[in-house]
Structure 1
Amino acid sequence: MMDWKSEDDAALKTAITLLESPTITAKIANLVGTPLDSLLSKLPEGAQEKINETVKTALQKAADAALWSLENAPNTKASTLMHKVMAGASGAMGGAFGLPALAVELPISTTIMLRSIADIARSEGFDLHDWETKQWCIEVFALGGPNDADDATKSSYYAARGFMAQTATILSKQFADIAAKNMAAKNLSGLALSPGQAGSWLAALIERIAARFGIVITGKFAAQAMPIIGGFTGAGLNVMFTDFYQDMARGHFIVKRLEMIHGEEDIQKKYEEMRKAV
């Protein structure tokens, strides 16, 4: 490992605190005062499938709107508060009108969240024109979900990273003509991707992450659909979601930045050592 500085130590501690916080599903249950399983049991038959399809569409629309439109100015300070306010406004609509509004509200709120994630990536010094940065932004939606910490020997963050590595392996087989160049490194750096190839890669990535993010959104929708909750908690849930994924993004891109300096294996080892010492 290169010289480990005090600021690296502080940054990694911050990342661990953010990334190992309670899952978003636990936060939903705490906010509404009802276990998630109880909320899900009240959903109508077929709701999960409809929500999953809506989530996939929302992520695809969000990627087009957020990742391609934000100004590419690395190290610009992130506007986290503005994105929370915008997300809260869109959530009030979804909470008030329920399932029919989900197809309208979710692409809006997801775009706001993804734009905020990209904003944070930019503030950590990442180039938004880099396809790998775009991939990492989308991957944030795979963080902090249920079942990430079932193995007590592994952090919830690296459990999710394992899912993403598995996804990269599967996609590399599907994109063998691209992967042959340097997918052994499990990233898109240096690949000669045409816009069409990169777009197809991200679309395939979104499809797999949508299945994971869909579980979280189903819990969120079930909470919003409660008659006694209404639009207020719809707004509150969206603010909570945006805050949560902003934290996930900040932690994720701190780790990625440190990995670029010190190497992925060394940072994972350091992360686990520091996590267990807390």
Structure 2
Amino acid sequence: MQRADLVELAVAAQRLESTNIATRISHFMGIPIEKALAALPGHWSTVVSRITRTALEKALDGALYSLKPLPRKPANKTHKLIAGVSGAIGGSFGITALAVELPISATLMLRSIADIARSHGEDLADLDTKMACLTVFALSGGSANNQESADTSYYAVRSFLSKAIGDTTNHIAVHGFSKEGAPALVKLVNAVASRFSIPVSEKLAAQTLPAIGAVGGASVNLLFMEHYQQMAKAHFSVRRLEKRYGKDIVKDMYIRIVKENVSRQRKKWSTAELAAP
């Protein structure tokens, strides 16, 4: 693998395995996200899951299939600006606004993800690319304390979604985006939503804090949008390298990079513990 591509893979691995949206939101609020989550009513996890599934379905209809497959620079700043406005609405009206605000945010995010995919040489007319764009919503990011090395969170998610993606792709290839193809697509949306609903719950918890309000809601949405833009950049970097070098080679190199990062982190912690009084 050429040095420039190896560096690109290392950057992608860092983003995919260490960039956690919950941590970023916690830093923004100044309190652990767990405290905000504890303030939500218990039944809201079910409600958020339902709203998340609906939002992804609407995003598919309103974003991914309306984009033209012409290569151009992704409009990340524009998407973040509009997402900030919708987040301000969510911050103003709290929990009750999620059913309205999340489909808007998800549609903007999916358009931005597709934009990034296109800038990495992906063909938006290709069904595999469309499924790869949807996959980004399942990439919530790893943890700075991630100890997993043999099976990274990124490739674990891709493995988790692989059957649903395969079934959906095969079904739609035969039936198209019709009612006959809907059950297979619903299966994939449900699989993605099961993971995406977790960061959505964290986002909702932050936006419903009394001190957050419209400005804070907009800021949380900007963080949310930027996070998934970073996930998309990393995801499509990996896909580009897989097409160039082969999936097995890239996966092996990726896991090696993660193992080395984990090893360095452990040594750093050990040194800090020895230096502690």
Pair 11,164 (structure 1): closer, same or farther in 2 beyond 3 Å:
closer
Pair 161,43 (structure 1): closer, same or farther in 2 beyond 3 Å:
same
In the alignment, what sits opposite 2:115? 119
Counterpart CA distance in 2 for 1:42 and 1:177 is: 40
In the alignment, what sits opposite 2:29? 32
Task: Give, in angstroms, the shift of residue 250 of structure 1.
Answer: 0.3
Pair 60,170 (structure 1): closer, same or farther in 2 beyond 3 Å:
closer
Task: Give, in angstroms, the shift of residue 86 of structure 1.
Answer: 0.8
Question: Residue 194 in 1 paired to residue 163 in 2?
Answer: no
Q: Percent identity?
A: 38
Question: Residue 168 in 1 paired to residue 162 in 2?
Answer: yes
Pairing partner for 1:93 from 89, 92, 103: 89
Pair 177,254 (structure 1): closer, same or farther in 2 beyond 3 Å:
closer
AA in 1 matched with 2:55: A
Unaligned runs of 5+ in 1: 180-187
AA in 1 matched with 2:58: K
Counterpart CA distance in 2 for 1:58 and 1:210 is: 9
Pair 163,41 (structure 1): closer, same or farther in 2 beyond 3 Å:
same
Counterpart CA distance in 2 for 1:8 and 1:145 is: 21
Counterpart CA distance in 2 for 1:106 and 1:233 is: 16
Task: Give, in angstroms, the shift of residue 248 of structure 1.
Answer: 0.3
The one-character-per-residue Cα deviations of 1:46-71 (angstroms, maximum 9, x if unpaired) are 11111111111011101111101111
Counterpart CA distance in 1 for 2:51 and 2:18 is: 27
Pair 255,145 (structure 1): closer, same or farther in 2 beyond 3 Å:
closer
Task: Give, in angstroms, the shift of residue 7 of structure 1.
Answer: 3.0
AA in 1 matched with 2:177: P
In the alignment, what sits opposite 1:57? 54
Q: For residues 178-189 of structure 1, what are the structure 2 equivalents within 5 Å?
A: 178=170
TM-score with structure 2 setting the length: 0.85
AA in 1 matched with 2:253: K
Pair 36,54 (structure 1): closer, same or farther in 2 beyond 3 Å:
same
Pairing partner for 2:101 from 96, 102, 105: 105
AA in 2 matched with 1:13: A
- Specify the SS of the correspondent of 2:26: helix
Task: Give, in angstroms, the shift of residue 80 of structure 1.
Answer: 0.9
User: Which range is displaced more, 146-155 or 214-223?
Assistant: 146-155
Question: Residue 83 in 1 paired to residue 79 in 2?
Answer: yes
CA contact (8 A) 1:25 1:145 kept: no
Pair 29,238 (structure 1): closer, same or farther in 2 beyond 3 Å:
same
Pairing partner for 1:7 from 4, 7, 21: 4
CA contact (8 A) 1:122 1:128 kept: yes
Pair 87,98 (structure 1): closer, same or farther in 2 beyond 3 Å:
same
In the alignment, what sits opposite 2:274? none
Number of residue pairs matched by the alignment: 260
Pairing partner for 1:207 from 166, 190, 203: 190
Task: Give, in angstroms, the shift of residue 134 of structure 1.
Answer: 0.8
Task: Give, in angstroms, the shift of residue 154 of structure 1.
Answer: 4.1
Task: Give, in angstroms, the shift of residue 153 of structure 1.
Answer: 1.6
CA contact (8 A) 2:150 2:259 kept: no
TM-score with structure 1 setting the length: 0.85
User: Which range is displaced more, 108-117 or 29-38?
Assistant: 29-38
